[in-house]
Structure 1
Amino acid sequence: MGNEDRQIFLRKIPGVDRLLGSEEIQGLARTHPRALILKAIHQVLEDLRARILEGGIEDPKDLDIAAVLTKVRERVEDLARPSLRPVINATGVVAHTNLGRSILAERVIDRFRSLAGGYSNLEYDLKEGRRGSRYVHVEGILRELTSAEAAMVVNNNAAAVLIALETLAKGREVIVSRGQLVEIGGSFRIPDVMRKSGATMIEVGTTNKTHLKDYEEAIRPETALLLKVHTSNFQVIGFTKEVPLAELAELGRRYGLPVMEDLGSGCFVDLDAFGLSREPTVQEVLAQGADLVTFSGDKLLGGPQAGIILGRRDLVEAIRGNQLNRALRIDKLTLLALEETLRLYRDPKEAIQEIPTLRMILQPLEELRRKARSLMDMIGLGEGAALGVSLCDGSSKVGGGALPLLELPTCLVCLDPGKMTAQSLEKALRASDPPVIARVEHERVMLDVRTIQTGEMTIVAQTIHRIARGMR
């Protein structure tokens, strides 16, 4: 395309006033703010000018007012759509870090309207009629469930570790096994968190083996704390050795040093009783002598994002008095969600049934197979369809950095993309409304029904139908 042709095409672009005066834009104006519509128009026109100058438009029909209005309408809808949106998790990763981790229980959601839409006693003591503490709303139930002397909550587990180390070991030394220097999601590393706290990390042992004498030989007057980090997001297997918490706690008592364990994914239910991988519970860690325990509220616990700190009263009270606590505290909605989730744990059977994270992890394979067959029947694509649908066995993951080696047997609905590529089909599912997030394996798109909620089954089936019709 020559320069003269470009100029002709540029002059064919409809003007802003002409677009604003059209019936279609007038209709959009009844449901969308004028400023949003103007923004969409300017963006579409700028895109058209750029494409013309790059030689990307060769058909003048692309510049007709009807074609441009279609682009404006699509852009308005795109701009009006919230950035944070619901998605359907068909990946089989239960506590999916990128998809919001744990789903809250229905009982938690039911309480949001009354507390989110009105005032509450967040920091008001109703009995005394004066200012109170926000932490009382969860401290009692945490102590009840774990037998800890004291409890407090901050906004995530990294913050819990940071404020604990800053309070107890700033300017002093913390002894930790070299094999426990983990990196969690987003490239946050235990050594970096420790450095920010002002504590000096003293590494002992080797990557695969650490002995009790390694800790003891490193203790000196500058030592403030013995730290154990549960490697919940990886495992070292083979020729290995780590010091049991009970032995480390005894060493700490002998030298008058507190022992802290960062559990990462705190769990209140014994998963071993259900035939799953061994994962220490919070109750066990406290019973084994840990003076302080930190863990997340939104992984195996199945609640909202939070960092929970349990342990000796004097240590927790010192942490609570740290001025950094003001910057790390959680809001009323997180407290609401955490309290209601914790209340479910008063009856472990009820917790397993009502907390979605636990329910999905413990879902029996036969139940998953029935669910997968039901979804395939709902999709209902017969012979000659553009997509092929079948069932196959596979495995799910717990996710959230928990139980990394655990493979949960599952049943998958497998989509053969036909003339499409598997990547194109996955992208089409992801571009639907709501987006369906699946995984690609062996040139097929896999839908793991473990993480597809019952109320989402029809939506997934309809989405696949639309894509198949479009392929025809």
Structure 2
Amino acid sequence: MSEYRALPSVDQLLTALPDLIDRHGRQPVTDAARLRLDAARQAIREGARGAAEAARLPHLLAADLAAAAVTQLRPILNLTGTVLHTNLGRAILAEEAIAAASAAMAAPLALEFDLTTGGRGQRDDHLRGLLCDLTGAEDATILNNNAAAVLIALNTFGQGREAIVSRGELIEIGGAFRMPDIMSRAGTRLVEVGTTNRTHPRDYRDAISDQTGLILKVHTSNYRIEGFTAEVPAPDLAQIARDAGVVLMNDLGAGSLVDLSHWGLRREPTVAGAVAEGADLVTFSGDKLLGGPQAGFIVGRRDLIAQINRNPLKRALRLDKIRIAALEATLRLYRDPDRLAERLPVLRMLSRPKDEIAQQAARLAPLVRDLLAPHGFDAQVADCASQIGSGALPTDTIPSAGLRLTGAGGDAPDRLAARLRSLPRPIIGHIHAGALMLDLRCLASDDQLLTALADL
């Protein structure tokens, strides 16, 4: 029993550790102390000395509480080669958007308050004019994400009715999210037309009935069907919908507001283009090619947008003030297209020349090699290929450069990847051809990588 008497009580530990209580709170420290005292008693039962266990308690408690306080939601270095990586949060916001979001968090805002009349305003008004100017649409509404935009539009115009979709456009995106499933939840009945690879105008015309609520066109953002294919061009589909008196909705997914070919990338459909081609409604994301925070937009005919805004789901799917502020700042950048690539991180990363990235890799290779050598790994400059991510241009890659990290043993890439993930600022690459590849396209500065690796 004398060994157990060497252990302090919980109250004695708390009295001796006021700094831990100030840092973490009394209850978390109390809970951690109880667990550590239980472990110390078990160690004594197995032959440990009580005094030695007691001496270790403050250090072990501090380590336990520090580990518990570390969030998994912390900044990482995205060196995967996928610029818009869904699992890593997609778009990095522009400085202007970050400043606007910070200001929105720090003070009350006129979110739904009209400063001119003193009456109630609409939160969408902060973005409506910008979206209409940039897309050519009559009106716009804003939701939590693009899935929400699709859901509310289908529910508004297709609940209890039919929605016609080409079989080649019944997509599944990340997380096993399937278009037929969201259509079912929206209360609309799916009518498939055409085949996987070929759909013709007559397929849509033959499917239209007095039960048709809308025709849905879906951008196949994360795959491409090639070979013996046919699809109905959007202007032709718009005419079919007008002739039948039904709504045509075009879901663009990533939703680019600019022609990416200006920066050497293959052209993605633009929102303004979809509006000009005659779609009644166009849905798209805010946190993909647009380069803002998570959001979903619907632009199109004023009378249809008004109906969507009267749907009770609108309140459940609306945005908060922080994202509205960040989106307004992001959209304003598009009014100055000459400087857009400088100020919008997504576009800056996508348009970064390979030569510039290769020069960065050459500078970093010997420094990274020195940091990794004590751990049994090497670093060499290597060519690689980046991709946009989040479903945009799925078969296209962008020439890039990076560091190829190797070590002894077939499990070397996995071991090193695990080590880099455990760093205070984790480094995320991808394993390819027996090596861990760090694509430097998204690396803003050399110091970011060197500082992170110094913690090895």
Structure 2 CA distance for aligned equivalents of residues 204 and 36 of structure 1: 59
Matched, 1:28 2:20: yes
Contact 2:112 2:122 in 1 (8 A): yes
Structure 1 CA distance for aligned equivalents of residues 131 and 251 of structure 2: 17
* Aligned sequence identity (%): 44
Q: In the alignment, which of 410, 433, 437 is matched to residue 424 of structure 2?
A: 433
Structure 1 residue 368: Cα displacement: 0.8
Q: In the alignment, which of 439, 443, 448 is matched to residue 448 of structure 1?
A: 439
Contact 1:379 1:465 in 2 (8 A): no
Moved more, 289-298 or 444-453: 444-453
Paired residue type of 2:117: E
| 1:299 paired residue number | 288
Counterparts in 2 of 1:222 and 1:39: CA distance versus 1, 3 Å: same
| 1:263 paired residue number | 252
SS of the residue 1:124 aligns to: coil
SS of the residue 2:68 aligns to: helix
SS of the residue 1:224 aligns to: strand
Matched, 1:116 2:105: yes
SS of the residue 1:462 aligns to: helix
Paired residue type of 1:286: V
Matched, 1:332 2:321: yes
Paired residue type of 2:318: R
Matched, 1:416 2:416: no
Structure 2 CA distance for aligned equivalents of residues 397 and 63 of structure 1: 55
SS of the residue 1:141 aligns to: helix
Structure 2 CA distance for aligned equivalents of residues 197 and 354 of structure 1: 38
Structure 1 residue 375: Cα displacement: 2.7
Unmatched segments (≥5 aa) in structure 1: 1-6, 468-472
Unmatched segments (≥5 aa) in structure 2: none
Q: In the alignment, which of 79, 82, 87 is matched to residue 90 of structure 1?
A: 79
Paired residue type of 1:407: T
| 1:3 paired residue number | none
1:41-68 CA distance string (max 9 Å, x none): 3344556778999xxx898799734444
Matched, 1:394 2:384: yes
How do 1:194-233 and structure 2 match up within 5 A?
194-233=183-222
Structure 1 residue 229: Cα displacement: 0.3
Structure 2 CA distance for aligned equivalents of residues 162 and 240 of structure 1: 28
Contact 1:175 1:227 in 2 (8 A): yes
| 2:297 paired residue number | 308
Counterparts in 2 of 1:26 and 1:201: CA distance versus 1, 3 Å: same
Contact 1:62 1:68 in 2 (8 A): no
How do 1:223-262 and structure 2 match up within 5 A?
223-262=212-251
Contact 2:169 2:218 in 1 (8 A): yes
Structure 2 CA distance for aligned equivalents of residues 185 and 51 of structure 1: 47
Structure 1 residue 449: Cα displacement: 1.2
Structure 1 CA distance for aligned equivalents of residues 400 and 8 of structure 2: 55
Contact 1:415 1:444 in 2 (8 A): yes
| 1:136 paired residue number | 125
| 1:185 paired residue number | 174
1:418-437 CA distance string (max 9 Å, x none): 57822121111111112222
Residues paired across the two proteins, number: 454
| 2:34 paired residue number | 42
Counterparts in 2 of 1:118 and 1:382: CA distance versus 1, 3 Å: closer
Contact 1:36 1:79 in 2 (8 A): no
Structure 1 residue 70: Cα displacement: 3.4
Structure 1 residue 9: Cα displacement: 10
How do 1:65-80 and structure 2 match up within 5 A?
65-80=54-69
Moved more, 13-22 or 28-37: 13-22
Q: In the alignment, which of 349, 353, 368 is matched to residue 364 of structure 1?
A: 353
Structure 1 residue 448: Cα displacement: 1.5
Counterparts in 2 of 1:33 and 1:254: CA distance versus 1, 3 Å: same
Contact 2:81 2:439 in 1 (8 A): yes
Matched, 1:149 2:138: yes
Structure 1 CA distance for aligned equivalents of residues 396 and 4 of structure 2: 59
Moved more, 103-112 or 290-299: 103-112
Counterparts in 2 of 1:215 and 1:379: CA distance versus 1, 3 Å: same
Contact 1:378 1:458 in 2 (8 A): no
SS of the residue 1:64 aligns to: helix
| 2:341 paired residue number | 352
Paired residue type of 2:31: K
Moved more, 194-203 or 88-97: 88-97
Counterparts in 2 of 1:463 and 1:67: CA distance versus 1, 3 Å: farther
Contact 2:6 2:54 in 1 (8 A): no
SS of the residue 1:263 aligns to: strand
How do 1:91-106 and structure 2 match up within 5 A?
91-106=80-95
Structure 1 residue 233: Cα displacement: 1.1
Structure 1 residue 464: Cα displacement: 2.5
Contact 2:221 2:392 in 1 (8 A): yes
The two structures have a TM-score, normalised by structure 1, of: 0.89
Counterparts in 2 of 1:132 and 1:462: CA distance versus 1, 3 Å: closer
Structure 2 CA distance for aligned equivalents of residues 299 and 278 of structure 1: 15
